[in-house]
């Protein structure tokens, strides 16, 4: 009876073991190092076991062959999973309009890993997304990081709380009666941060009886003040970018500028502020506060020594998301080098998001998130012929 029990106890572990896989490629782009011609990547238990040219493939490994192999793409900023493909109220959870400041809203409470768009972007090579509450509120809510594989929210989530999504600009005034002006927007954010500072001070009181009760809104802002999470501030015009920089300096926030359409006009200021940039989709529409955007931004900022991460962001029309691969390709067409274009959708966002130890490049010990192409990844006629996440092929075939 004891033997039977032991066998059943081991069965779950046996079934969860991931396959041992070898991928042979005419060209491997690890991103973290030089390209490898006629290389092999070995995958074991969901991790990169080895990488190199002319590696011997051990017995028992399932072998795939491809022309080009890259790391899985990392979308630096998306609302996929909260914003759905149907474009109806029941699948649009990215922006709560009952109030302009709601830092307590958790992305993980709204993220749907079964949303159609998750599979769409996965089939185009995106294996990791930084998603969450969208643009259009002073503080719209929290963001999270997830893999695009199948599973429950718990099994696909890498990080349940990553940043606090904020917006300075005309989209806020279009959604709420107040604030109506730029000065009011910044004043309202500053007011809440001052409240959070007072809340933090009370939390540190030596007399436990004087410490305040939990407050979802203020507790989230306290994490921002303590540097536990970053301030993801959408600001496109130079005026709004400078407001975000002043706010970050005043409260010592870790600043990530999102969108940043006119960042090319403020390179010294952005560098001095140690601000990171998640750049708008290359082919975004140049209207409103993005009227002065340029498709050359990624190239201009990269040349200036600013690490660029390209996003898909949010689209108000069906199919509700852009294709990250195409946005990077377009940035390459407007001056970004091949290596930098690939880095802008892999290692750069992985570093910005604090997950470069797991994803973003093909290195021993990292998650086996890989994309197989039948040609140059940035050539329009090339196709994604395989996608691997955590050592499991989630897409096979070039259709």
Looking at the fold, whether 248 and 324 belong to one and the same domain comes out as yes
Helices (DSSP H) in 34-74: which residue ranges? none
DSSP string, 385-399: EEEEETTEEEEES--
Phi, psi of 177 (to 5 degrees): -65, -40
pLDDT above 70 covers what percent of the chain?
A: 95
Q: How far apart are CA 244 and CA 186, in angstroms?
A: 8
Residue 111 three-state SS: coil
Give the tens place of pLDDT for each residue, 236-252.
Answer: 999 999 999 999 999 99
* Residue 216 pLDDT greater than 70, yes or no: yes
Looking at the fold, whether 248 and 333 belong to one and the same domain comes out as yes
* Residue 8 pLDDT greater than 50, yes or no: no
Residue 23 sits in a domain whose CATH number is: 2.30.40.10
Looking at the fold, whether 322 and 349 belong to one and the same domain comes out as yes
Q: Closest Cα to residue 29, out of 387, 390, 323, 377?
A: 377
Is residue 159 within 8 A of residue 144, CB to CB? The reply is yes
Instruction: Provide the residue range defining the domain that includes 391.
Output: 1-72+361-399
| pLDDT for res 86 | 87
| pLDDT for res 6 | 37
**Span 22-26, average pLDDT:** 98
Looking at the fold, whether 85 and 158 belong to one and the same domain comes out as yes
* Residue 11 pLDDT greater than 70, yes or no: no
User: 29-59 b/e with 16+ CB inside 10 Å = b?
Assistant: bbbbeeebeebbbbbbebbbbebeeebeeee
Total residues belonging to the chain: 399
Looking at the fold, whether 132 and 218 belong to one and the same domain comes out as yes
Residue 317 three-state SS: coil
Lowest-confidence segment of 3-12, 37-46, 227-236, 273-282 by average pLDDT = 3-12
What torsion do the CA atoms of 300, 304, 305, 307 make, to the nearest 10 degrees?
-30
DSSP string, 211-258: SPPP-HHHHHHHHHHTTSSEEEEEE-SHHHHHHHHHHHHHHT--EEEE
User: How many structural domains comprise the chain?
Assistant: 2
Lowest-confidence segment of 40-49, 91-100, 205-214, 297-306 by average pLDDT = 205-214
Q: How far apart are CA 12 and CA 8, in angstroms?
A: 8
Give the tens place of pLDDT for each residue, 242-291.
Answer: 999 999 999 999 999 999 999 999 999 999 999 999 999 999 999 999 99
Cis check: omega of the bond before 179, within 30 degrees of 0: yes
| pLDDT for res 88 | 86
| pLDDT for res 54 | 87
**Span 168-187, average pLDDT:** 96
Between 320 and 73, the more confident residue is 73
| pLDDT for res 7 | 36
Q: What is the pTM of this model?
A: 0.94
Residue 350 sits in a domain whose CATH number is: 3.20.20.140
Looking at the fold, whether 84 and 68 belong to one and the same domain comes out as no
Q: How far apart are CA 89 and CA 104, in angstroms?
A: 21
pLDDT band at 210 (very low <50, low <70, confident <90, very high): confident
Is residue 145 within 8 A of residue 130, CB to CB? The reply is yes
| pLDDT for res 127 | 98
| pLDDT for res 12 | 41
């Amino acid at each position: 009876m004891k033997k039977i029990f032991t066998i059943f106890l081991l069965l779950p572990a046996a079934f969860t073991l991931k396959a041992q896989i070898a991928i042979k490629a005419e060209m491997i782009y690890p991103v973290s190092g030089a390209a490898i011609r006629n290389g092999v990547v070995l995958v074991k238990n969901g991790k990169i076991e080895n990488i190199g040219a002319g590696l011997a493939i051990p017995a028992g490994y399932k072998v795939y062959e491809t022309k080009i192999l890259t790391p899985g793409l990392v979308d630096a900023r998306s609302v996929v999973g909260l914003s759905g493909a149907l474009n109806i109220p029941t699948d649009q959870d990215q922006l709560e309009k009952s109030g302009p400041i709601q830092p307590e809203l958790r992305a993980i409470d709204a993220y749907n890993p079964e949303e159609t768009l998750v599979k769409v972007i996965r089939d185009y090579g995106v294996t990791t997304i930084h998603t969450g509450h969208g643009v259009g509120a002073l503080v719209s809510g929290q963001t999270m990081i997830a893999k695009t594989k199948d599973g429950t929210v718990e099994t696909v989530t890498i990080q349940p709380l990553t940043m606090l999504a904020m917006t300075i600009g005309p989209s806020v005034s279009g959604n709420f009666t107040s604030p109506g002006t730029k000065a009011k927007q910044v004043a309202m954010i500053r007011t809440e941060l001052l409240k959070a500072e007072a809340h933090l001070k009370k939390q540190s009181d030596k007399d436990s009886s004087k410490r305040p009760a939990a407050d979802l809104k203020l507790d989230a802002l306290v994490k921002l003040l303590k540097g536990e999470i970053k301030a993801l501030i959408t600001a496109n015009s130079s005026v709004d970018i400078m407001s975000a920089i002043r706010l970050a300096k005043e409260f010592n926030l870790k600043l990530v500028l999102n969108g940043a359409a006119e960042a090319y006009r403020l390179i010294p200021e952005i560098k001095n502020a140690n601000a990171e940039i998640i750049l708008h989709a290359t082919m975004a529409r140049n209207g409103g506060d993005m009227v002065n955007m340029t498709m050359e931004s990624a190239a201009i900022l990269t040349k200036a020594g600013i690490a660029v991460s390209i996003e898909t962001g949010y689209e108000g029309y069906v199919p509700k998301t852009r294709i990250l691969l195409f946005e990077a390709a377009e940035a390459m067409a407007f001056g970004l080098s091949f290596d930098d274009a690939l880095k802008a959708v892999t290692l750069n966002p992985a570093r910005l998001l604090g997950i470069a130890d797991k994803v973003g490049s093909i290195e021993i010990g990292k998650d086996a998130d890989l994309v197989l192409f039948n040609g140059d990844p940035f050539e329009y006629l090339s196709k994604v012929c395989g996608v691997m996440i955590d050592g499991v092929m989630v897409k096979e075939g070039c259709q």
